[in-house]
A and B are shown apart, each in its own frame.
Chain A
Amino acid sequence: GENVEQHPSTLSVQEGDSAVIKCTYSDSASNYFPWYKQELGKRPQLIIDIRSNVGEKKDQRIAVTLNKTAKHFSLHITETQPEDSAVYFCAALLLNNNDMRFGAGTRLTVKP
């Protein structure tokens, strides 16, 4: 089955700096890669996603890049703000059975 690895497990940045979280996946059949943000005590919510026919996608201060050959994708947050502090999960969706697997999560702390 699919295996998703995520790094780093914790990340601390100063407000205004950029943050990058990286994930790798094992199954080349995966074709959908979402990122979820989980604020303290809340449910995970989708913030951005990318399909395998696209190399990069941007939405204001967040962007995701995908390297299909290397089987890795990354989340980039620019001009970080304290409200970006949360746990971020990457995921990969298997083409054949719609089975979504998550990385272990990255706890991002943005210091004011």
Chain B
Amino acid sequence: EAQVTQNPRYLITVTGKKLTVTCSQNMNHEYMSWYRQDPGLGLRQIYYSMNVEVTDKGDVPEGYKVSRKEKRNFPLILESPSPNQTSLYFCASNPAQGRGRDTEAFFGQGTRLTVV
């Protein structure tokens, strides 16, 4: 089954304690991205990756890091989480745009992070 898997689904942590949210896709998609969803602000892009070893900042990258060492995995790292990073996080993947190819973005189940 084609899917994007995020872990954990829920996380409560304390300020300053490093954490990683994992994201894995089994569709051989080139493009992966991370979004945070906050009430009234929609889906804001944190980082994206066009392929292995290629990452770039989205609209709200401050306080986050990512890596893309393998095509299937795109972890989101919070080196020193702060309360303003409390949010719902979604990972997404889609194939590189090409003639006749579907460009649908598939989302993970979401990770609800609370930083106290």
Contact = CB atoms under 8 A, between A and B. Distances in A.
A20 B43 CA distance: 20
Given A99-B48, A100-B33, A44 B43 contact: yes
Nearest to A9: B40
Nearest to A1: B59
B45 A43 contact: no
Contacts of A1: 59
Contacts of B96: 98
Interface in B72-116: 90, 92, 94, 96-97, 103-105, 107-110
Contacts, number: 59
| Chain B interface extent, by class | 20 to 34
| Chain A interface extent, by class | 20 to 34
A95 B41 contact: no
Interface stretch (A55-63, A73-81, A101-109): A101-109
A46 interface: yes
A28 interface: no
Nearest to B105: A100
Contacts of A98: 30-31, 50, 94, 96-97
Interface of B: 30-31, 33, 35, 40-45, 48, 50, 56, 58-59, 90, 92, 94, 96-97, 103-105, 107-110
10 contacts: A32-B97, A43-B108, A46-B105, A49-B103, A91-B105, A97-B56, A100-B92, A100-B94, A100-B105, A105-B42
What are the 4 A-B residue pairs with the smallest beta carbon separation, nearest first?
A104-B42, A43-B107, A102-B43, A105-B42
